[in-house]
């Protein structure tokens, strides 16, 4: 596939790994923010190509994983309602709530549909005027514009049987929260390239200035990731902390302006609870007043839900880079992809899932 295969070239990966080894003269700890990058690193063994002086820790960039338990339970409660067609990305289907998950609800007769795009849920609402179609809007700034477009379409069509359970999260406030923790270990950050394709990287300038940590906008293919690592190591070795764009084919400083305008029209920043990080001010997107009639949390009564989490699951520590999944006592024992205790074991961006899939038993 053009613009994919070239960035998986083994000889280039090798050359970049050698260059990184030559450049790193001291110990450095970098965090890749996005779970998609974590999976690429573990899948392709990129961490094993790096010199021992470099440590990669995995960040909170798995939206399904950071969604707190009470929101998952709210989703499950909506999915169980007989009048509801509950639409979700496939990534969420096996995430455990307090008592069940979407896949089990579907197996028991609930109308749970996996959709490719939020706009597909708008189509379902048009096709099923007698049913309530709810889309579970989870994701970072990469995904939020697609949700915003669905909301705009629903408003233009005047659909009264379409609503959104919104759990969209924003990267920069979470990075600030992570960098502010007293036990922060990261000295450099690989920023999530597709978030930046939408938002640009101007938002990171104040962060590198406040925390003196270089941030490198990084893509997702093996070559892109090592290029990001190299740029970050070079910054650290020079004692610099700037924002570097190592994914220029997809990202510009200002980002996708029409998409940002769409976000501004449909959403407003809200305080949000993150699994592992607690409540972070203005780190989420809620529906703006003119779109609030599409808010599933207001349309349906879900008060009185009592959430509980596995006492064994340490996904909060995994999501903040404080625990390697393999150090979790439950990893591969009580917690497997078939019997997950937390979202990090089943999401396609969860760090536990990456290690179980590509490294377990090695």
* Residue whose C-alpha is closest to residue 151's, from 162, 139, 140, 167: 162
To the nearest whole angstrom, how small is the minimum distance from the Cβ of residue 117 to other proteins? 3
Choice from 32, 36, 124, 167 touching other proteins (CB under 8 A): 36
**How many residues bind to other proteins according to rule CB under 8 A?**
76
| Contacts (CB under 8 A) with other proteins, residues 172-201 | 192, 194-195, 197-198
List residues bridging with 136 in a β-sheet: 165
Closest to other proteins by CB, 153 or 187: 153
Tokens standing for residue 73: 């339970």
Cα gap 153→148, rounded to integer Å: 9
Closest to other proteins by CB, 313 or 328: 328
Cα gap 10→220, rounded to integer Å: 15
The angle at the Cα of 194, spanning 138 to 58, to the nearest 5 degrees, equals 75
| Contacts (CB under 8 A) with other proteins, residues 137-176 | 138-140, 142-143, 145-146, 149, 152-153, 156
Choice from 86, 135, 136, 355 touching other proteins (CB under 8 A): 355
* Residue whose C-alpha is closest to residue 150's, from 126, 174, 129: 126
Cα gap 34→328, rounded to integer Å: 21
280 touches other proteins by CB under 8 A: no
Options 78-86, 110-118, 278-286, 308-316: segment touching other proteins (CB under 8 A): 110-118
Cα gap 147→240, rounded to integer Å: 38
| Contacts (CB under 8 A) with other proteins, residues 42-61 | 47-52, 54-58, 61
To the nearest whole angstrom, how small is the minimum distance from the Cβ of residue 192 to other proteins? 6
To the nearest whole angstrom, how small is the minimum distance from the Cβ of residue 147 to other proteins? 9
Tokens standing for residue 243: 């924002």
């Amino acid at each position: 596939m053009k613009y994919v295969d070239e960035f998986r070239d083994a000889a280039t990966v090798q050359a970049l790994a050698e260059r990184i080894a030559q450049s790193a003269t001291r110990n450095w700890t970098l965090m890749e923010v996005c779970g998609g990058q974590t999976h690429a690193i573990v899948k392709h063994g990129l961490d094993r190509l790096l010199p021992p002086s470099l440590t990669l820790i995995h960040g909170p960039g798995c939206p399904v994983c950071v969604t707190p338990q009470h929101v998952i339970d709210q989703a499950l409660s909506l999915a169980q309602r007989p009048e509801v067609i509950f639409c979700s990305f496939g990534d969420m289907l096996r995430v455990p709530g307090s008592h069940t998950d979407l896949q089990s609800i579907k197996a028991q007769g609930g109308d749970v549909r996996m959709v490719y795009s939020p706009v597909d849920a708008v189509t379902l609402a048009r096709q099923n005027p007698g049913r309530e179609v709810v889309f579970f809007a989870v994701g970072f700034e990469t995904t939020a514009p697609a949700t915003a477009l669905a909301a705009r379409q629903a408003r233009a069509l005047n659909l009264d049987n379409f609503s959104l359970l919104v759990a969209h999260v924003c990267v920069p406030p979470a990075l600030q929260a992570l960098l502010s923790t007293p036990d922060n270990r990261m000295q450099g950050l690989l920023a999530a390239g597709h978030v930046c394709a939408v938002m640009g990287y101007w938002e990171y300038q104040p962060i590198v200035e406040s925390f003196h940590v270089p941030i490198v906008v990084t893509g997702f293919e093996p070559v892109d990731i090592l290029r990001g690592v190299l740029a970050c190591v070079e910054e650290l070795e020079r004692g610099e902390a700037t924002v570097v764009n190592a994914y220029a084919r997809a990202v510009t400083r200002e980002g996708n302006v029409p998409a940002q305008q769409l976000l501004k029209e449909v959403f407003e920043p809200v305080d949000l609870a993150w699994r592992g990080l607690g409540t972070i001010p203005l780190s989420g997107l809620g529906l703006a007043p003119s779109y609030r009639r599409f808010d599933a949390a207001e349309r349906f009564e879900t008060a009185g839900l009592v959430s509980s989490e596995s006492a064994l699951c340490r996904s909060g520590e995994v999501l903040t880079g404080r625990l390697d999944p393999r150090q979790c006592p439950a990893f591969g024992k009580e917690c497997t992809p078939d019997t997950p205790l937390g979202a990090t074991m089943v999401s396609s961006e969860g760090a536990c899932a990456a290690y179980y899939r590509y490294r377990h038993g090695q």
